Amino acid sequence: MLQIDRINVKYSDGNQALDQVSLSIEDGQTVGLVGANGAGKSTLLMTLVGLLSIETGHILLDSIEINKKNLGQLREKIGIVFQNPDDQLFMSNVYDDIAFGPRNYGKGETQIKEKISDIMHRLGVEHLRDHNSHKLSGGEKRIIAIATILVMEPSYLLFDEPSSFLDPKTRRKLMELLKGLTMTKLIATHDLDMALELCDKIIILKDGKIFAEGKTKDILTNEALLLEAGLELPFCLQRVNL
Ligand SMILES: Nc1ncnc2c1ncn2[C@@H]1O[C@H](COP(=O)(O)OP(=O)(O)OP(=O)(O)O)[C@@H](O)[C@H]1O
Ligand SMILES: [Mg+2]
């Protein structure tokens, strides 16, 4: 279980990006983190993996408070897919990028190969196996960045805009894959249709604060609430005049 208790995060320029944020995520839950540009979604995800420090407050993972000393252990448990896939891919080819994490943890090459083949098959990207990671299209980079984290099988998965850049078919494959994963997931996204389909619970951030929290259907069908947070109803719930 992930528990966040009144955390404050300030950037070095004095920008208070998270202000008294508290939330809890039960094991196995899929939680959507939504909010307008600049609301603090990426800041929250980066704070959870220790890339940003909290000024005050507490973060507990499986009842253990996260601090500088146990950050290493934490990184084995939490995987993050960054908003920008270029932050995730740094090897010269796709296979080596996906194998990087498991190799670092001393996994055998045969086991790594099997795991990678399975994930690439499920994501429909086997043809990219020997491609240069830096020359992939935006969507290809995104899906390979996701594969580099899935291969590690962390207990907690944090996604920052996982469906951005993806074509409809690849987005669908990703959604089906995410539905089949039993680990706890926190998904920051502007893709409210995806959130509606995948998430048990939605948290809306606004100006670094928790603005609303509740069951997915209650939050994502509340047009007035969404408008106040700088959002709109999911497309599938909007009336379209053709
Ligand atoms: N390195 C930084 N230094 C100073 N301020 C920052 C930094 N990174 C982000 N911010 C600010 O912190 C606030 C939250 O940014 P964040 O990237 O967390 O928003 P977000 O909800 O992820 O937005 P988006 O939907 O555009 O990805 C914004 O006001 C942003 O300008
Ligand atoms: Mg962001």
C-alpha of residue 117 to centroid of ligand 2, in Å? 30
pLDDT of residue 191: 97
The answer on pLDDT for 171 being more than 80 is yes
Pocket test for ligand 1, best of 8, 13, 41, 187 (most atoms within 8 A of CB): 41
pLDDT of residue 72: 78
Which residue has its alpha carbon closest to ligand 1 atom 3? 11
Average pLDDT over residues 92-108: 94
Whether the CB of 212 sits within 6 Å of ligand 1 = no
pLDDT band at 223 (very low <50, low <70, confident <90, very high): very high
The answer on pLDDT for 242 being more than 90 is no
Which residue has its alpha carbon closest to ligand 1 atom 30? 38
Q: How far is CA 167 from the centre of its chain?
A: 18
pLDDT of residue 240: 79
Phi and psi at 79, nearest 5°, equal -110, 140
Percentage above 70 pLDDT, the chain: 100
Coil/strand/helix, residue 191: coil
Whether the CB of 139 sits within 6 Å of ligand 1 = no
Domains parsed from the chain with CATH numbers: 2-234 (3.40.50.300)
Structure pTM?
Answer: 0.93
pLDDT band at 173 (very low <50, low <70, confident <90, very high): confident
51: region left, alpha or beta (phi > 0 left; psi from -120 to 50 alpha): alpha
pLDDT of residue 180: 87
pLDDT band at 149 (very low <50, low <70, confident <90, very high): very high
**Which tokens sit at 145?**
């960045």
Q: Distance (Å, rounded) from C-alpha 82 to C-alpha 149?
A: 10
Ligand 1, closest atom to CA 188? 22
pLDDT of residue 16: 95
pLDDT of residue 177: 86
**Which of the ligands is closest to the CA of residue 230?**
1
